[in-house]
Amino acid sequence: MDGNNPGYEIYAYDTGSGTLLDKATSSLNLAAPASGWSLEYDFADVYGHSLATPGDWLTVAGGVMLDPVSQTAYSNYCTAQADTPAAVTPRTLPVYWLAMTNATPAGYAASASLLAAT
């Protein structure tokens, strides 16, 4: 997306099992770069779930599609806090959701065709 601020993610995981636990996203506000990098959000804090299981991922993905609070968070964090018009709107959310929940072109295409039929 044009106008985004740069960001990076640091993942926390269980060193014994390798289970993914959480991620923290930091961003740099390009409108005030001297302020430096800052924590944008912590996944578990914002969405109320860890990343430990596929069920956690699906719960969060479902929330982004169905829960207004999760939708707002997703929309706000999508541009790394850039002061630009929201890219994720109620109209564009399904496209972002498809990209977030379908890792393969075939899965995306199949899901997109189902979405278009509704």
The structure's pTM equals 0.72
pLDDT at 118 over 60: no
pLDDT at 1: 46
> 45 by DSSP, 3-state: which?
helix
pLDDT at 65: 83
Q: List C-alpha distances in Å: 43 to 34, 77, 101, 107.
A: 26, 11, 16, 25
pLDDT at 12 over 80: yes
Residues 24-55 have pLDDT tens digits of 999 998 888 899 999 999 999 999 988 888 88
Domain spans of the chain, in order of start: 7-117
